[in-house]
Amino acid sequence: MLLKNVHADLLQLANEQIAEHSQRFFKTGKGEYGEGDIFLGIRVPVLRKLVKKYRGISIAEVRRLLHSKFHEERLLAVLMLVQLFKSSDESEQKLIYDLYLENTGFINNWDIVDISASNIVGAHLYEKDKTPLYDLVQSKILWERRISIIATFYFIRQNEFDDTLKIAEILLNDEEDLIQKAVGWMLREVGKREIGSEEEFLQEHYKKMPRTMLRYAIEKFPETSRLMYLRGEV
């Protein structure tokens, strides 16, 4: 059973100093977005090596790993799911996609979402009905709303922006800092590929956008243009 070997490897790789830093960085204190999360102290490049080492792991075992109390085990699980998704046929991809959305309670920090949502949810829905994204964006759960916008990064990479812009508009008044940053980031990614689409969206909405969202969206703009947006002079 590979799962026991995976867990043993992770415990051996654990680093107390890194774990302490991660506990602070990922806001695990009372009332913070990562409240109660437990870290082993393992960096992402190390976890990626384990993905290669355990290529033969089953989806059922990955599901059990995803239910771990340790942050890095859940992160490793979604990295494994991404790898399995890429190498699977359409029916197996559907199983992975379903498993992912059935277990969003364990995909519960921004790094776990960001490393997986576009590569699983976005990739699966690319040529399908996008209704699941519009269900997620209405969720009261922060991480499900973040999944909805980050999933569209897959579409952006195919130079298709409509769903990103529609979901961004729905999230304009979201009060969560991590949603504002995610929306701004996706708008910036749209602009990298088609600046006119981003600017059209901004000109309609920038005056009512949260400041954090706007700053992320215009981060790569020329200084003069960026300052005009921040001053409301566009």
Q: Do 180 and 139 share a domain, yes or no? A: yes
CB 211 within 8 A of CB 232: no
pLDDT tens-digit readout, 80-99: 999 999 999 999 999 999 99
Q: Considering 58, 87, 115, which residue would you say is the last residue of a domain?
A: 115
Residue 120 domain-assigned? no
Residue 122 domain-assigned? no
Q: Do 111 and 71 share a domain, yes or no? A: yes
Give me the pLDDT at residue 149, please: 98
Give me the pLDDT at residue 177, please: 97
Reduce the DSSP state of residue 227 to 3 states and report it. Answer: helix
CB 44 within 8 A of CB 17: no
Using the Cα atoms of residue 130, residue 92, residue 114 and residue 109 in order, give the sign of their dihedral.
positive
pLDDT tens-digit readout, 150-205: 999 999 999 999 999 999 999 999 999 999 999 999 999 999 999 999 999 999 99
Give me the pLDDT at residue 2, please: 80
Q: Do 108 and 159 share a domain, yes or no? A: no
Supply the pTM of this predicted model.
0.95
Q: Do 217 and 175 share a domain, yes or no? A: yes
Whether residue 234 is predicted with pLDDT greater than 90 in this model: the reply is no
Give me the pLDDT at residue 230, please: 94
Whether residue 101 is predicted with pLDDT greater than 80 in this model: the reply is yes
Confidence band of 212 (pLDDT split at 50, 70, 90): very high
Q: Taking the C-alpha atoms of 52, 53, 59 and 64 in order, what is their torsion angle to the nearest 10 degrees?
A: -120
Q: Do 92 and 171 share a domain, yes or no? A: no
Q: Do 111 and 133 share a domain, yes or no? A: no
- Checking 124-131 for CB contacts under 8 A at 24+ apart, the result is 124/85, 124/93, 124/94, 124/96, 124/97, 125/151, 126/154, 126/155, 126/158, 130/163
Q: Which domain holds residue 187?
A: 127-234
Q: Taking the C-alpha atoms of 121, 147, 65 and 48 in order, what is their torsion angle to the nearest 10 degrees?
A: 80
Q: Report the domain count for the chain.
A: 2
Give me the pLDDT at residue 56, please: 87
Q: Do 111 and 149 share a domain, yes or no? A: no
Give me the pLDDT at residue 3, please: 86
Residue 17 domain-assigned? yes
pLDDT tens-digit readout, 28-77: 999 999 999 999 999 999 999 999 999 989 999 999 999 999 999 999 99
Residue 34 domain-assigned? yes
Token couple for 49: 């090596």
Whether residue 136 is predicted with pLDDT greater than 80 in this model: the reply is yes
Residue 83 domain-assigned? yes
Q: Do 58 and 88 share a domain, yes or no? A: yes
